[in-house]
Amino acid sequence: MLQANDQLWLSNVIDKITTKMDWVSEKSRNKIPYTTVNGVHDDRNVDNPSDNITDGINWWTNGFWGGMMWLMHHETGNEKYKAIANISEDMLDECFQQYDGLHHDVGFMWLPTSVANYKVTGKAESKKRAMHAANLLAGRFNLAGGFIRAWNDLGEQDTRGWAIIDCMFNIPLLYWATEESGDPRFMQIAMKHADTAMSAFVRPDGSVNHIVEFDPFNGGVVKTYGGQGYEEGSSWTRGQTWALYGFMMSYIHTGKEEYLNTAKRIAHYFIANIPESGIIPIDFRQPKEPAYEDSTAAAIAACGLIEIAKVVGPHEKDVYVQAALKLLKTLDESRSDWTKDSDCILINGSSAYHNKDHHTAIIYGDYYFIEAIFKLKGNDLYLW
Ligand code: GLY
C-alpha cells in the first residue's frame, strides 16, 4: 500500500510517538487528560468551575486516554501502558452512579477503555462495565423516530428529539454488545439509528448535518442545526469525519453495503474539500478569515480513509491512501509538538467554531493520530 519513502516516514513517526508516549504516559499516569495548560495535561477526573468545566468524570472524552494506553500497549508490548489504562477505566466507574451526567457518549467512553481491556485481557469486570454502558445507550433509543437521543436537556433547551452525527461513533458499542452476548437487540437499535442517519443527516453532495431534531412522539425531521460548525447548512469538518469513519464502522460490523457506499460518498466530499495546504478548517463552509482549523478532524478522517482503502479494489485504494497520507504528513510536519515542552502531540485542535478557544491540544486528536499511524503500519488494535 505504501511506497518506500512513505514507509521511511511512517517508521520515523512511530519512533517519535513511542518516544513521546513513553514519558508522557508516566507523567500523566493518574490523570484523565483532555487538553494542556501551559504544556501540561489537565485532569478531567475533577471539576474545574473556573474554566466552566463541570462534567468532571462524565466528560465525554474521558475514554481516549485509556484508549491511547491500549494502542501503545499493543504496539510496544510494554505492560506499563496496560496498568495506566486500568487506572482511568477504574475512575470511570463513578459515572455509573451519576446517571444524569451520562449522554449517548458512553460509546466514546467505554469502547476504548473497558471493551479494549476485555478484548485484550478478557477481564470479566471490564465486560460487565461495557455491557452496562451498552444498556444505557440502548435505553436512549426513540422508537417513533428511529434514532438514539444524543444529549440530556441542555438548560432550558428541550433535546428529547435531538440526534447528532457523532453518535455513529457510539453505536459500535451496541454492535459489540450483540457480538459478545448473541442478543440481537443491540445491533437492531444500532442499525436502525444508522439507517435514520443515512437518510436524515447525509446530504446529496456527501456533506452531513451535525444536529437533526426529530419529533420525539411521531418521528419525522423537525429541524436541523449547525451545532459545532459555522451555521445551519454548513459542514462542520469533525462531524463529516464522525460520519465518514462511523458509517465505515457500521459496514465493518454488519456487512451492509449501503453503509460502505455512504462512507465512500462522504469520503469523496471530504477529499474534494482538502485544501492544497492539507490543513483542515473547523468547517468547510466557514468564512476564509479567521482561518480557524481543527487538526482533530484531519486525524479522524485519516483513520476512516485507511479503513475504506482496506476494503475497496486495487484501482480505488490509492485515492484513499494518498488522501490519508496527505493529512497525516501535514499533521506530522506542521501540527505536531514532538518536544518535551508539551504533553500533547497535536496542536491546533478546535472543539467548535463558536467556542472561545481555538487551536488547542485535544486528547482525541492525539488518540486518532496514533490510531491512524498504527493502522497505516498494519498494526491497529481495532477498538471500535
Ligand atoms: N462528540 C463531540 C465532538 O466531536 O466535539
Query: Which of 201, 242, 367 should be mutated for ligand 1, with most atoms under 8 A from CB?
Result: 242
Give me the sheet containing 221-225, strands edge to edge: 162-164, 211-214, 221-225
Q: How far is the CA of 274 from the centre of ligand 1 (A)?
A: 20
Phi then psi for 142, rounded to 5 degrees? -105, 115
Residue 56: per-residue pLDDT: 85
Assess whether pLDDT exceeds 60 at residue 53: no
Distance from the Cα of residue 51 to its chain's centroid: 23
Known active-site residue 341: no
> What would the pLDDT profile of 274-298 be if each residue is shown by its tens digit?
999 999 999 999 999 999 999 999 9
Name the residue with cell 496527505.
326
Mean pLDDT, the chain, whole residue set: 96
279: CA distance to ligand 1 center in Å?
Answer: 19
- Looking at residue 50, what is its pLDDT? 55
Q: Is the CB of residue 351 below 6 angstroms from any atom belonging to ligand 1?
A: yes
Residue 224's H or E segment, with its range, is: strand 221-225
CA torsion angle 259 269 360 101 (round to 10)? -30
Given a cut of 80, is residue 51 above it in pLDDT? no
pTM listed for this prediction? 0.97
- Whether 166 is a known active-site residue: answer yes
Atom 2 of ligand 1, nearest CA residue: 166
Q: Which atom of ligand 1 is the closest one to the Cα of 352?
A: 5
Three-point CA angle 98, 148, 366, nearest 5°: 70
Is the distance from CB of 373 to CB of 299 less than 8 angstroms? no
How far, in Å, from the CA of 315 to the mean position of ligand 1? 34
Give the chain's domains with CATH numbers.
4-377 (1.50.10.10)
Distance CA 142, CA 219 (A): 9
pLDDT band at 92 (very low <50, low <70, confident <90, very high): very high
Whether 383 and 115 have beta carbons less than 8 Å apart is answered as yes
What's the confidence (pLDDT) of residue 40? 97
Check 166, 343, 366, 380 and give the catalytic one. 166
Query: d(Cα 80, Cα 82) in Å, to the nearest integer?
Result: 5
Is pLDDT above 80 for 48?
A: no
Over residues 290-327, the pLDDT tens digits come to: 999 999 999 999 999 999 999 999 999 999 999 999 99
Listing DSSP states for 186-222 in one string gives HHHHHHHHHHHHHHHTB-TTS-B-SEEEE-TTT-SEE
Per-residue pLDDT band at 213 (split at 50, 70, 90):
very high
Q: Which residue has the cell 466530499?
A: 269
The model's confidence at residue 108, banded by pLDDT at 50, 70 and 90, is very high
